[in-house]
Chains A and B, each alone.
Chain A
Amino acid sequence: MKTIVCITLKYWKKHLKSAATLLFSGVLLTAIIFTALMSLREECVRFYERAFDNMGHYEVLIANSDDELLAQALGGRTDCDYGVIYVLGKLGYRDNQFTYGTISDEHDLWHTPLKEGRMPVTANEIAAVRTVLDACYWVGECGDTITLNGTEYTVVGIIDEYYGKHREGSELCEYNTDIVDETEYYIPLIFVGDSSAEPLYRIDLIGGFFDFSDIGRGLYDTDDDIRYFESVLGDYDDYLYELVDHKGHWFDVNCEQNAWYTESKTRSVSFLMTIVWLGVGVSVLSVFSVLRGIFIERRGRISILKRIGVKKRLITVMYTFECTAFAVLQTIIGIAVGLAAYGGIYLVKTSLLGEKPYSAFTEIGIVYERTLDPFLYAGLISVSVIVAAYIINLLTTNISAKTPHKRKKLRSLSKGFRTAMRQSGITAVQIISLTLICFSVIVGYMYYTDNGKEPLMWLTYNNISEDYKANGFSMEKNNIEEYYYSNAMQINSFGEDRREITEYFPLIAEDFSRGFGDDIAAALPDTALITGNNEGTFVASSDKISGLAPIDLSNEIVRDTFIDLADDEHKNFFDEGNLGSKNMYRIPTKLTTSNAINRLTEYVTDGEINLEALNSGEEILLIYQSSEPPLAVGDAVTIYSALANENGYGLGEVKTVNVKIGAVIKLPPALSKLEKYILKSGFHCNFLTTATGAKSLGLSGAYTEVYSSEKLDGGIFPLSAEMRVISLSEEKWNTFIDRAAKFAGVALILVVMSLLGFAAYFNGIGLKIRQKAYELSVYRALGMSLHELRRRIFLDSVKIPVISSAAAYILVKTTQLIMEKGYDRLCAIYQGEMGTPELQDTLRNTLFLDNVMWQVNAEIPTLILFVIICIVTFILTAAALKKFSGDIAGDLNMGRTRL
């Protein structure tokens, strides 16, 4: 026994390379499974964390509660987790006021979804929802200060927007708004640290109220479980309703998210699993392939042992000993490598890609019930694979007794060479692993590329490529790096629905005060395109102006409504001689900088641009598109603008401005759409002046948009300008981060799996050559040159990429066909022809029908893969044959020992 162990150890000591290769394959197999299962567990954690982010982690919430109500709701239970929110009132900037409060929640039942930073601790610290901070025109970062209702706070945490949009009781809630409509007890959107202020009301949070262990097995494993829990929750729901209804409070019973996980496992998880199992398949083949080579290599030695009288039992012990050693080593090292890989992915996701720090190591108990234990299953599969590989190889690696060659026909040199070099086991492993790899890579390509894909009906698939837009203009095509904007002037048009918008009467619904003037514009680079717009200006004339369509207020009902809504001093608007009796024409006023106006000189068809006159309000420019300008240079024009009264649709004030047309300009068609946009409105013609000019004239308006080809210093804009920014590089980065965060795990596994599969294949090339060193030496001894040998081995090897690529292509085409048929079926179900909703889900989930993969061209990636594999095959074949450049006699001697 001792001798056998000694022999085994000596063998492996002499064959460290083989041991390392076997261990490497086993370690990778274990690591892949472990990493994948950890990723899946993390996915599950993220699911629950997201659910808790959206809905809180409490089971019962009672708004405007008190001690008596809480005691009644608990029904004598003292073992529940408890948290409380004290609402202190409203905080904000100007009219934008939001509920704020403090929170005491050691069990994190409220589960505030912080986007960055932390929850506040001291009285002058706040954490607030992003949209709330936006509404307060705060453009800082965590750690900066904000002044709300005259008090300065430090923003220590930023809460995700969806907290405001999703949480029940949020005054910004966009879904299930019943509570928002009915209650005055809102949840806080701003949290402050300790506060001595007297709370207006409190919100109680209770966790651990429902005893899930009653079910005896995993939660909501079956529909019956779900029905059971719904009934329990329903009863408590009714009880709470009776308890709090008479006091007008609202409450929430909330633990349904436990039920969702099984059904809502995303298709990306399914895809990940598919890739993982393919990876496991490849790794298993890799282990088998390496071990088979080792068994073949040892055949001679084992035969010697048998001949000298070693019993079969001892040989079995020897194999058991080394199998156990490999199993233990590959499991321990594999899990350690898997942990490191998972840690790496986690770090990348959380540090670089900005994902929330939710890891697979969680305290959420349900996750452990819902997911496979990575340690246990990675270990089990790892051990099973190596044991199975040993048993199968032990049973199959025997020298089979040969019968005389029955074929009459002699094998040619090529056939004979192929026969001599044949290693069916390794070749099969190579073909299968390469086929799986090619298939996975092509499918991965099909999944993540938008090559030729057209979004189809019934599918949620979104085209992968993004067209980043700034106010409808493609940022990339128009070379826009940054787009600064503030809300445009709000115009409430008045007229008949059937009419064109150009013929509406414009009411400026708010006094315009956003944007910036020429002083700020002067500090911006010359290349920046700056514009502002006052769409509410119009002119009036007793005579008709040719080329313009008048505002149509001829309908009696419209007129009556107009008069009804108008302030008293405008009730006579349509009387003879008043504005309403004239022909009114909408001519909006566009604003742009002196620089931009100067560049228009060559397009002036009449008159002359006089910037001084423009800025002083003496003159204005007219941009027109028709063959003749509707107004002539030198014409004195009265520009009107109508301001709405308080109800927003009634006339409150009419402003008049007298000005002279300084020049008329016709823009050439060659001008880009963006350049036209900053000068020209969508109407037949428009006035054009600078912001200073508009101000001098007394017109509302300021520059509200900046299209810049370079990054600007956003701090140049005053807070009152209320400017926001879209940055192309940031948008691209965010998209990259989103995608990377979503696909990082799958991509990594795909890459590792591909490497593993290729390693198995390439290892096979080297292994075959090593195994056939003797045969190759005989061929050389008999007179075959190395060049000829290389050529024949390469030709022999290249059949594997050919077969694998063809097989992978057939598999891909079959997959595409099945997906397409599945999609057709899905369409038929949606159109009510046949099938059930369950079948819809099955089709969508099992066939990954969130992605039109079947529309992608599979030929090119197959061809590219084939060429790459062929090239690498050639290089590796040549490299593996390099060791044969020495003495043939030595190689022959080495080879003889194998036999």
Chain B
Amino acid sequence: MITVENLCKTYGSGEGAVNALRNADLTIKDGELVAIVGKSGSGKSTLLNLLGGLDSATSGKVIYNDVDIMKMNEASLADFRLRKIGFVFQFYDLLPELTTEENILLPAQLAKNKSADISALAERLGLTDRLKHYPSQLSGGQQQRAAIARALINNPDVLLCDEPTGNLDQKTGDDVMELLLQLNKTEKRTIVIVTHNPEIAARCERTIEISDGTLIS
């Protein structure tokens, strides 16, 4: 279970300070599929980054099973991200110098996870014949699927997706969304999706709306 308590994030200081997130309180149960929606600049991605430990909070707590990740040191947090969280970014963030296979296996290599099964994952995500290709040789959908595969390779408890379909056309976006829903249903994996697309949000179990850094519902 993920518990967010009184979470704040402010960028800058003084008059130019921007309150990206204000006193957010939130609970996400294990196996839940949650959509965070809101307009551009409302603080969706900030919340997701804080949930994933990619950013540090100005104040407040992010508790995963009784452990506040905001209090973790850099090395522990890195290890937490490696083993417990899977990220899917809007821009895929695959390393252009590595092949698809190497990109997918990167977290497994970092975690020295020898049991990672890329073949099954690649087959499931339709990437079998694209493993030796570089990201620049893949389509947007394939890149996003590769990013999802990379996020899943260490079998994390939580999948955090930042506008996973934002860069994709309708059809490809639907495919990717279908894949995430399936992962949630079949593997009971907790998935948090940041999106501004109401259709995607509607397919999730719960929707959290955020506006000007404040959680509305």
Q: Is B26 interfacial (CB-CB < 8 Å)? A: no
- Complex Cα spacing A404 to B95, Å: 15
Q: Report yes or no: A781 in contact with B101, Cβ–Cβ below 8 A.
A: no
Tell me, in angstroms, the Cα distance from A412 to B52 when the chains sit together.
Answer: 26
Partner of B109, one of A412, A422, A786, A885: A412
Name A780-801 residues within 8 Å CB distance of B.
780-788
Q: What is the CB-to-nearest-CB distance from A298 to chain B, in angstroms, rounded to a whole number?
A: 17
Closest A-B pairs by Cβ, 5 of them = A783-B82, A413-B109, A785-B78, A889-B49, A785-B75
Q: Contacts A416-B98, A419-B98 hold; do A404 and B134 have CB atoms under 8 A apart? A: yes
> Whole-angstrom distance from the CB of B26 to the nearest CB of chain A?
18
Q: Is A313's CB within 8 Å of the partner chain B? A: no
- B109 / chain A contacts, CB cutoff of 8 Å: 412-413, 416
Indicate whether A364 reaches chain B with its CB closer than 8 angstroms: no
With an 8 A cutoff between CB atoms, is A896 at the interface? yes
- Contact A783-B79, Cβ < 8 Å, known A404-B132, A410-B105, A411-B102: yes
Q: A775 near B97 (CB under 8 angstroms)? A: yes
In the assembled complex, the Cα of A624 lies from the Cα of B111 at a distance in Å of 91
Q: A498 in the interface, Cβ–Cβ < 8 Å?
A: no
Q: Is A406 an interface residue (CB 8 A)?
A: yes
Which residues of B, 29-77, contact A by the 8 Å Cβ criterion? 45-46, 49, 52, 54-56, 74-75
Interface size class of A (residues with CB under 8 A): 20 to 34
Q: Does A94 contact B (CB under 8 A)?
A: no
Say if the beta carbon of A778 comes within 8 Å of chain B.
Answer: yes
Interface presence of A420 (CB below 8 A): yes
Residues of B close to A889: CB separation below 8 A: 45-46, 49, 54-55
Residues of chain B contacted by A412 (CB below 8 angstroms) = 109
Q: Is B74's CB under 8 angstroms from A785's CB?
A: yes
Establish whether residues A413 and B101, one from each chain, have CB atoms under 8 Å apart when the complex forms.
Answer: no
- The reply to whether the CB of A2 lies closer than 8 angstroms to some CB of chain B is no
Contacts of A779 in B (CB 8 A): 106, 110
A402 interface residue (CB < 8 Å to B): yes
11 CB contacts below 8 A, A to B, read: A399-B136, A405-B101, A422-B97, A778-B93, A779-B106, A781-B52, A782-B150, A783-B82, A885-B74, A887-B54, A889-B46
A890 within 8 A of B: yes
Hey, which bits of chain B sit against chain A, CB under 8 A?
45-46, 49, 52, 54-56, 74-75, 78-83, 87, 89, 91, 93, 95-99, 101-102, 105-107, 109-111, 132-134, 136-137, 150
CB-CB nearest in chain A for B106: A782
Residue of A405, A778, A896 touching B134 (CB-CB under 8 A): A405
Which chain A residue shows the least CB distance to B105? A410
Task: Report if A783-B81 is in contact (Cβ < 8 Å); known contacts: A413-B110, A419-B97.
Answer: yes
Contacts of B83 in A (CB 8 A): 783
Q: Which chain A residues border B98 with CB–CB below 8 Å?
A: 411, 416, 419-420
Q: How far is the CB of A197 from chain B (nearest CB, A)?
A: 89
Cβ of A410 and Cβ of B101 under 8 Å apart?
A: yes
Residue of A with least CB distance to B76: A785
A641-679 vs B: 1/0 string, CB under 8 Å?
A: 000000000000000000000000000000000000000
Residue of A nearest to B90 (CB): A896
Indicate with 1 or 0, residue by residue over A867-899, a CB within 8 angstroms of chain B CB atoms.
000000000000000000101111010001001
Bound complex: CA A888 to CA B52 (Å):
10
Tell me, in angstroms, the Cα distance from A899 to B97 when the chains sit together. 12
**Complex CA distance for A413 and B112, rounded to whole angstroms:** 9
The residue that B110 contacts in the complex, of A402, A420, A782, with Cβ under 8 A, is A782
**CB-CB nearest in chain B for A886:** B56
Q: A404-B132, A406-B132 are in contact. Are A888 and B54 (CB under 8 A)?
A: yes
A303 to chain B, nearest CB (A): 13
As a 0/1 sequence over residues 394 to 406 of chain A, the CB contacts with chain B under 8 angstroms (1 = contact) are 0000010010111
Closest to A891 in B: B54
| Chain A min CB distance to B216 (Å) | 23
The answer to whether A782 touches B133 (Cβ under 8 A) is no
Cα–Cα distance between A241 and B82 once the two chains are bound (Å)? 100
A896-B110 contact given A406-B132, A785-B78, A888-B55, CB 8 Å threshold: no
Q: A779-B106, A787-B74 are in contact. List 6 more A-B contacts (CB 8 A).
A: A404-B137, A405-B133, A413-B106, A419-B97, A782-B81, A783-B110
Give complex CA distance A786, B77 in Å. 11
Q: Which residues of B contact A783 (CB under 8 A)?
A: 78-83, 107, 110-111
Q: How far is the CA of A781 from the CA of B93 in the complex (A)?
A: 10
Q: Give the shortest distance, in Å, between A774 (CB) and chain B (any CB).
A: 8
Residues of A within 8 A of B99 (CB): 404-405
Which chain A residue shows the least CB distance to B81?
Answer: A783
Q: How far is the CA of A806 from the CA of B82 in the complex (A)?
A: 39
